[in-house]
Structure 1
Amino acid sequence: MLVLTRKPNQSIQIGNDIEITILSVEGEQVKVGIDAPKNVDIHRKEVYLAIKEENSNAASSTVDLGKLISQKYKS
């Protein structure tokens, strides 16, 4: 892990397209601004992990859609 020290209004550049700016520091809270292309997904880590888990659950679902459709139109 790379650890950098930044002050308010200082930035970190990631590649050519992503800039992270420290907007303010108030006590233990740091406000961060992220400038990135619209095609780059940006989430808080807990949200990212929840999305990842939901996607994993959906992918491992054992529902047989073909069977459900045929049952619906059988009658």
Structure 2
Amino acid sequence: MLVMGREVGEVITIGDNIRIKVMAVEGGVVRFGISAPRQVAVHRAEIHKRIKDQALEQEPASGHSA
């Protein structure tokens, strides 16, 4: 894991087309702005987990009876 410090207004770039900008720091909360291509899903970790869990629940059972 890369750990770095950034100040408000500074940007982190991932690859050629993903940018994360520090928008504000208030108390213990940091607000980011994220720019990414539409085909790149960007979610908070808890939302990403919920999406993955729902997808697993919707998968058909893999056991086939013969």
TM-score w.r.t. structure 1 length?
A: 0.78
SS in 1 for 2:4: coil
Moved more, 16-25 or 51-60: 51-60
Superposition RMSD on alpha carbons, in Å?
1.3
Gaps of 5+ in 1: 63-75
TM-score w.r.t. structure 2 length?
A: 0.88
State the partner residue of 1:68: none
What does residue range 53-64 of structure 1 map to in structure 2 within 5 Å? 53-61=53-61
SS in 2 for 1:48: helix
Gaps of 5+ in 2: none
What does residue range 17-32 of structure 1 map to in structure 2 within 5 Å? 17-32=17-32
Structure with greater helix percent: 1
State the partner residue of 2:6: 6
Measure the CA separation in 2 of the matches of 1:21 and 1:59: 37
Say yes or no: does 1:50 pair with 2:66.
no
State the partner residue of 2:16: 16
Measure the CA separation in 2 of the matches of 1:34 and 1:59: 31
Larger radius of gyration: 1
Aligned pairs, number: 62
Q: Which has the higher contact order (CA 8 A, sep 6+)?
A: 2
Query: Structure 1 residue runs of 4+, over 6 Å off?
Result: none
Measure the CA separation in 2 of the matches of 1:55 and 1:25: 34
